[in-house]
């Protein structure tokens, strides 16, 4: 019995005793009331002891349900590097033989690891693009110790989602929940393969925390496309290198997100460690990408707007004669581009794209970064002090 329960129980008993003392004759009604309330106190005490002494709860139940569907992923990726013999950098040699001699492209293999989870009994697996999207070989380890070679069904760099598949039937799989009703402060469980520990005993590592925040947008600049993380769920459940691609699960055992990014102050050869700030892709966003990847295997992101955007600052605001302090200016524009065709003008201040507020250049890159070729985006622009609405259809990027 906790001190709090003892205190409450003693107050109730004291109150009942004092009531009894005020009665001259100690009526049967008072005796029955005293007995009833003492019974309630005893039941509260018993329930409290059951909770505190039990080792099983909603969290442990969810872990038991989900663990069989978690997989460790080991990948082999082939990368290319341009090698140049220093001998051919000699000016005398280059004078007679030209400057392109001695260069060669060499390939080398890189080993990597990450996490994933089975989402169907026939072997579909979710993970991150940065884990498995560019792999030449993928080996998946199940919790029964068996290893399977996986194929890439499709992968999208921009949203960082990869869909894999292994052969099998009646495989354990996770229920995909929803990320629309996530509650700040609710308990969540992160599963994964941090630092390759899954290979030690074929069991996922489990960490528990809460939803710290949600609906966070993050831009990771990369090539050939930026990674656009929209509506991310933040958690303090420990996520470390190797956890990428694992599920974030609520206390009901439903997947609400996929673990993807961590903020870390330390980095070594094995990767980064957790400081309690991790971000996961909301599962509702992942579901949409999965359906596209199943039908197309690759999402066409090779589009352009034709706009040269620039973040508004004090100097630029004076130059265009604007009193605004935040926004993105159309500083340049390609001829015959989607922007020009749509009616966008030089000097327009972009304030909103498809309902997404544009205050900084990063906002513009996020709002336009995860569209698809042929999609139409609605731009709200400020021109001569008035708001204009422009529909801009994204076109295939011209070939050079």
Cα–Cα distance measured from residue 84 to residue 87, given in angstroms and rounded to the nearest whole number: 9
Quick check: 70 pLDDT over 70? yes
Tens digit of each residue's pLDDT (9 = 90 or more) over 290-299: 999 999 888 9
Active-site choice (129, 130, 156, 348): 130
At 3 the pLDDT is 40
Lowest mean pLDDT, pick from 1-5, 88-92, 122-126: 1-5
At 115 the pLDDT is 98
Quick check: 23 pLDDT over 60? no
Angle between helices 3-22 and 28-53 (to 10 degrees): 180
Active-site choice (156, 160, 236, 370): 160
Quick check: 247 pLDDT over 90? yes
At 81 the pLDDT is 74
Question: Residue 185: what are its φ and ψ, rounded to 5°?
Answer: 100, -10
Q: Residue 100 — pLDDT band, cuts 50, 70, 90?
A: low
Using a 10 angstrom Cβ sphere, with 0-12 exposed, 13-18 middle and 19 or more buried, the burial of residue 259 is: buried
Lowest mean pLDDT, pick from 118-132, 220-234, 266-280: 266-280
Quick check: 347 pLDDT over 90? yes
At 19 the pLDDT is 38
Quick check: 85 pLDDT over 70? no
Active-site choice (115, 179, 240, 244): 244
Cα–Cα distance measured from residue 273 to residue 292, given in angstroms and rounded to the nearest whole number: 33
DSSP of 60-128: HHHHHHHGGGEEEEEEEEEEEEEEE-GGGG-HHHHHHH-TTTTEEEEEEEEEEEEEEEE-STT-EEEE-
Query: Is 223 an active-site residue?
Result: no
Quick check: 6 pLDDT over 50? no
Contacts of 335 (CB under 8 A, 6+ apart): none
Question: Residue 125: what are its φ and ψ, rounded to 5°?
Answer: -130, 140
Q: Residue 7 — pLDDT band, cuts 50, 70, 90?
A: very low
At 37 the pLDDT is 57
Structure tokens at 229: 């993380």
Query: Is 342 an active-site residue?
Result: no
Query: Is 220 an active-site residue?
Result: no
Quick check: 38 pLDDT over 80? no
Quick check: 5 pLDDT over 90? no
| Mean pLDDT (the chain, rounded) | 85
- Mean of pLDDT values over 270-286: 83
Quick check: 31 pLDDT over 60? no
pTM for the whole structure:
0.80
- Mean of pLDDT values over 122-150: 97
At 90 the pLDDT is 61
Quick check: 274 pLDDT over 80? no
Cα–Cα distance measured from residue 379 to residue 154, given in angstroms and rounded to the nearest whole number: 31
Tens digit of each residue's pLDDT (9 = 90 or more) over 178-207: 999 999 999 999 999 999 999 899 999 999
- Mean of pLDDT values over 84-97: 59
């Amino acid at each position: 019995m906790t001190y709090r329960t003892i205190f409450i129980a003693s107050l109730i008993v004291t109150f009942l005793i004092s009531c009894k003392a005020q009665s001259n004759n100690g009526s049967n009604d008072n005796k029955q009331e005293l007995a009833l309330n003492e019974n309630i106190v005893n039941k509260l005490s018993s329930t409290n002891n059951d909770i505190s002494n039990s080792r099983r709860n909603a969290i442990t139940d969810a872990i038991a349900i989900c663990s069989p569907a978690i997989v460790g992923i080991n990948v082999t990726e082939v990368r290319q590097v341009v090698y140049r013999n220093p001998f051919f950098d000699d000016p005398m040699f280059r004078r007679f033989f030209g400057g392109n001699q001695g260069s060669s492209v060499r390939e080398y293999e890189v080993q990597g690891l990450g996490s994933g989870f089975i989402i169907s009994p026939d072997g579909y697996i979710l993970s991150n693009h940065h884990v498995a999207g560019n792999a030449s070989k993928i080996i998946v380890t199940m919790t029964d110790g068996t290893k399977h070679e996986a194929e890439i069904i499709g992968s999208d760099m921009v949203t960082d989602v990869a869909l894999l598949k292994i052969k099998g039937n009646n495989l354990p799989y996770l229920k995909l929940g929803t990320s629309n009703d996530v509650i700040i402060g609710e308990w969540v469980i992160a599963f994964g393969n941090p630092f390759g520990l899954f290979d030690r005993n074929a069991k996922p590592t489990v960490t528990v925390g809460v939803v710290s925040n949600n609906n966070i947008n993050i831009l990771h600049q990369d090539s050939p496309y930026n990674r656009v993380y929209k509506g991310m769920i933040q958690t303090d459940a420990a996520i470390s290198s190797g956890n990428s691609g694992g599920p974030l699960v609520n206390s009901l055992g439903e997947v609400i997100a996929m673990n993807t990014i961590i903020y870390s102050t330390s980095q070594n050869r094995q990767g980064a460690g957790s400081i309690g700030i991790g971000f996961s892709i909301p599962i509702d966003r992942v579901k949409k990408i999965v359906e596209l990847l199943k039908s197309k295997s690759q999402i066409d992101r090779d589009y352009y707007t034709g706009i040269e955007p620039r973040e508004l600052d004090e100097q630029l605001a004076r130059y265009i004669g604007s009193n605004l302090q935040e926004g993105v200016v159309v500083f340049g524009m390609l001829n015959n581009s989607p922007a020009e065709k749509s009616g966008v003008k030089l000097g327009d201040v972009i304030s909103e794209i498809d309902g997404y507020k544009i205050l900084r250049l990063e906002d513009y890159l996020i709002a336009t970064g995860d569209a698809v070729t042929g999609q139409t985006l609605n731009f709200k622009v400020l021109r001569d002090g008035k708001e204009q609405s422009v529909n801009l259809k994204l076109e295939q990027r011209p070939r050079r």
